[in-house]
Structure 1
Amino acid sequence: MKTRDRIIEAAIALFNDKGTAAVSTNHIAAAVGISPGNLYYHFRNKEDILGAIYDQMDAVGFGDYQAIIAESPAGSLEAMERTFLMIQRFNWRYRFFKRELTALILQHPQLRERHIRTHRALLKLVRHSIDSSIDLGLIRPMDETERQLFTDEIWLLALFWLNYLEVGGEEVTDETLRRGNEVVRQTVRCRLTDRALHLLATMEGTS
C-alpha cells in the first residue's frame, strides 16, 4: 500500500476511535510510522486528509451501489435489501463522519459544499430507485409530493440507522444492521403492490 493510502487508512481508524478533534497530524504520522514531514509531503494539513477520506467515501459508496444494480435491477426488492445493508456497513466504516457530520460540515466550508453535492446526488439515486419500483409494479403509484416525501423517509432511515443504534446504547453488529433492513421493509410494506408482497413473503421464507 502506498504511503498516501496508509495515511488515509490510519486517519480513518484514529478518527473512528478517538474523534477528529482529538487526533492531530502527528498522531496520524506516528500511527503510520513516518515523520510529520513525510506526512506533509502528501497532505498539507488535517483538512486535506479529511478531503481525501471524502474522496474515498464517494468512490466506495457509488462503486458499491453500481455493483449492486449491475446484478439486481434498480428498484427491485433485492436491490433495496442489498443497498440498505451496504449503506449501513459503509456508515460503520466511516462512522466518525456520521457521528460528527453536522460539526464537520460547519467547521469546513469546502467539505460542506462537497457533502451537499453528494447528499443531493444520493437523494436522486433513492428517488430513481423508488420511481423504478413503481415502474416495475412493485410499489403503488404515487403523486409527485408523495414520492418526494417517501424519498426523504427512506434516506433518513438509511443515513441515520447506525446513529440510532449508538445513541440507544446498542452494539452495531450484523444482527442490528439487519434489523435496520426490517425497519425499511416495514416502512415500504404498506406501499407495496400485491405482487410485491408475494415476492417479499418469498424472500422472508413465509410462503
Structure 2
Amino acid sequence: MTTKEKILAAALEQYNAKGTDVITIRHIAKEIGISHGNLQYHYKNTEELILALFTQLSAEMDLLMTSVVATPAAPSFHNFRDNIQKAFTIFYKYRFIFLHFVAIVQRVPEIKTRYNSMDDFREQQFSQMFAHYRELGIFRNDIPAQIWKELITLLYITSDFWLPHNEIKLGLKDQAAVQHYVQLISNMFYPYLTEKGIITWREEK
C-alpha cells in the first residue's frame, strides 16, 4: 500500500468514526505514523482528502453501474436486488459523505459540481437498466415513461439519504443496516413488477 493509499484509508476510517469536523490531518498523520508535513505533501488539507475520497466513491459506483448496464441480467428480481445491495455496501463504506452531505458540499463545492454533473449519465444508465428488466418481463410495460423518470429521482433520494435516516432512527450497523434498507428499496419496486417479477420477488422473502 502506498503512502497516499494509507492516508486515504486512515482518513476514511477516522471520518466514518468521528466526522470531518473533529478529525484533522494531524490526527490522520499520527494514525499512520507519518509527519504532518509528509501528509501535506500528498494532501494539503482536509478538503483535498474529502475530495479524493469522493472521487474513490464515484469510481467504485461507476465500475458497478457500468457492469450492471453491460452485463445481461438473469430473468429474476434477485439480480436487481443484488445490484442494489452492492451499491448500498459502497455507500456504507463511504458513509461519512452521506451523513454530512450538505455540510460537505458547502465545504468542498467541487463535490456539488461533480455530483450534479453525473445526473444525466446516471439517468441514462438507470433508464437502460429499467428497459432491460421490462424486456425480461420483470418490470411492467404499461407504465408511462415519465413515471420511470420520476422513479429514478426517488431512487436517488432514497439511496443518498438512507444513511442519515438510519443514524437518527435505527442505529443499525454494517450489513444489518445495508440489508434493512436494501429490503425497503426492493419493496418500493413491487408496484412496478409483472406477475413473473412478483414470483421472483417472493423468492427473495
Q: Which range is displaced more, 193-202 or 28-37?
A: 193-202
Aligned pairs for 1:11-160 within 5 A = 11-67=11-67, 73=73, 77-141=77-141, 142-160=143-161
* Structure 1 unaligned blocks of 5 or more: none
Q: Which range is displaced more, 177-186 or 108-117?
A: 177-186
Q: Which range is displaced more, 191-200 or 113-122?
A: 113-122
In 2, the alpha carbon distance for the partners of 1:89 and 1:2 equals: 24
Q: Secondary structure at the match of 2:21?
A: coil
- Give me the TM-score of the superposition, normalised by structure 1: 0.87
Report the AA paired with residue 191 of structure 1.
Answer: Y
RMSD over aligned Cα, in angstroms?
Answer: 2.3
Q: Equivalent residue for 2:181?
A: 180
Q: CA deviation at 1:76?
A: 5.3
In 1, the alpha carbon distance for the partners of 2:76 and 2:155 equals: 15
CA 41–95 in structure 1, closer or farther in 2 if over 3 Å, else same: same
Answering whether residue 198 of structure 2 is matched by residue 193 of structure 1, we say no
Q: Secondary structure at the match of 2:80?
A: helix
- Give me the TM-score of the superposition, normalised by structure 2: 0.87
Q: CA deviation at 1:107?
A: 2.0
CA 104–18 in structure 1, closer or farther in 2 if over 3 Å, else same: same
Contact 2:16 2:95 in 1 (8 A): yes
Contact 2:16 2:96 in 1 (8 A): yes
CA 74–118 in structure 1, closer or farther in 2 if over 3 Å, else same: farther
Contact 2:88 2:182 in 1 (8 A): no
Q: Which range is displaced more, 91-100 or 195-204?
A: 195-204
CA 158–107 in structure 1, closer or farther in 2 if over 3 Å, else same: same
Report the AA paired with residue 144 of structure 2.
Answer: D
Q: Secondary structure at the match of 1:29?
A: helix
Higher RCO (Cα < 8 Å, 6 or more apart): 2
Paired residue total = 204
Report the AA paired with residue 56 of structure 1.
Answer: Q
Deviations 1:50-88 (A, max 9, x none): 121112111222223445566652995233211211122
Q: Which range is displaced more, 12-21 or 193-202?
A: 193-202
Contact 2:138 2:194 in 1 (8 A): yes
In 2, the alpha carbon distance for the partners of 1:173 and 1:12 equals: 15
In 1, the alpha carbon distance for the partners of 2:24 and 2:162 equals: 29
In 1, the alpha carbon distance for the partners of 2:171 and 2:66 equals: 31
* Structure 2 unaligned blocks of 5 or more: none
